Amino acid sequence: MRRTFFAILLAFTAWPALAQTTAPAQGKQDKEISASDDPTAATSESKAVPLGEIRRFVTTYEAVKNAYVEPKTDTQLMHSAVRGLLLDLDPHSVYFDHDDAERFDEDAEGQYEGLGIQVQQQPNATLRIVAPMDGSPAQKSGLKSGDIITAIDGKPVDRDNGNRQLRGKAGTPVRLTIRRKGVAKAFDVKVVRAKIVVPSVETKMLEPGFATVRVSGFQANTAVEFEQAITRLEQQSGGKLRGLIIDLRSNPGGLLNAAVQMADDVVDSGTIVSTRGRQKEGDTVYTAKPGDLLDGAPIVVLVDAGSASASEVLAGALKDLKRARIVGSRTFGKGSVQSLLPLDNGDAVKLTTARYYTPSGKSIQGVGIKPDVIVRADGKQASAGDYRESALPGHLRGDDEGAPGDDDTGGEVLDGQAPLNAALVELKRMAGVTAPAPHAAAPAAKRKPQ
């Protein structure tokens, strides 16, 4: 069900990032997030639009409606007008039509109704199956990676929105026409849709006592998944972890309260993050409550150029509160907060309404977070590149953007095992383990003085 309130979200892409805030996930019962997540909650004094501006708009509107080479309906023109209103604000203020707004909600919730299948739209109006999720209806029906979907319920795949055709109410069937390598003829597969829960947290024990938690995005249940992951890892370690890596590489962000709750899970006190916008009555400060799931065990946060927004909230909080060391590459630098306003026709407006600040009071907008231990993807200096907030056309200028110490270079995307190895080396050093990690050589790393 679509929500009818403003909600905070943090994500560095306009689409398909993550969606609006839901009620705070219930993890540690003594740690609750403030009931108001909305920096725009306060009522502002309305100001009349100048009559001259209204006249110019109406004149232009009527000219387009009456004289444009092809006819346009009032609905089309008004949608275009609203999109234009948002277009020149910043890269993250956008208008969603009904389908995009629903998809936005689904991504935030971390669940949807469908087949549990990852597909890739092909140029020839087919869908290639990348992978079915474990235990999903798609997997149970025998679908495999590499299969090609050529038709859905006997109709050709929509060239622009084929993935949407696979979605539908749980319990409803869908018939897929499949072409499979090694099979001479195409064949049909009947799959019954179900509610699909997309996990955002994965775990791995690296060495006895040392583990990593990979967070791919901040969804409604991410904090609960994180808490459950810590419990499992501690059981595997005989009751207590010696150290943890929180892997946020290429995590685009998501829900603010999920990042706040994760930080709250591992810190005892202090400000986690604050938001400030034009509506001062809605400015919010999020603070930690007593309780540390790791009982003070060292933490390393692994980041790269794709770590943005809510990822930067978590990394910035743990860095400023001296609860973790940051390893990797400079982060994306998205320090703005978006509020989602559902409209009565099912569409929605995502509007930038505030900036967020780390516990030390710094804004990372346009600047990003510089790691304590810098890891290079190939041993070379990172180039300026375009993979950063400050390279986006029309971005909000950050408080510290261009200030002394801002070298205006973007970070790097750090794929593979080597950056994780470098993070493990730093984690073991923090835990007092001096022996080198028995892994493949890590990329060149440079540690800043503590």
Active site residues: 309, 320, 334
Q: What's the CA gap between 251 and 253, in Å, rounded?
A: 6
Number of H-type helices and E-type strands within the chain: 9, 22
CA distance linking residue 423 with residue 134, whole number of Å: 29
Distance separating alpha carbons of residues 61 and 78, to the nearest angstrom: 9
Distance CA 84, CA 24 (A): 34
What is d(CA 296, CA 439) in angstroms, rounded to the nearest whole number?
Answer: 26
87, 394 in Cβ contact below 8 A? no
The helix, strand and coil proportions of the chain, stated in percent and rounded to the nearest 5, come to 25, 25, 50
Distance CA 327, CA 111 (A): 31
Q: If you search the block for the tokens 């509610």, which residue do you land on?
A: 195
Length of the chain: 450
- The gap from C-alpha 215 to its chain's centroid, in whole angstroms, comes to 10
Contacts of 415 (CB under 8 A, 6+ apart): 249, 377
Distances (CA, A) of 313 to 59, 129, 309, 316: 45, 34, 6, 5
Contact 125, 22 (CB under 8 A): no
Note whether 369 and 315 are within 8 A (CB).
yes
Structural contact between residues 150 and 126, judged by C-beta atoms closer than 8 angstroms: yes
The amino acid at residue 281 is: E
**How many Å is the maximal CA-CA distance in the chain?**
77
Count of CB atoms situated within 10 Å of the CB of 64: 14
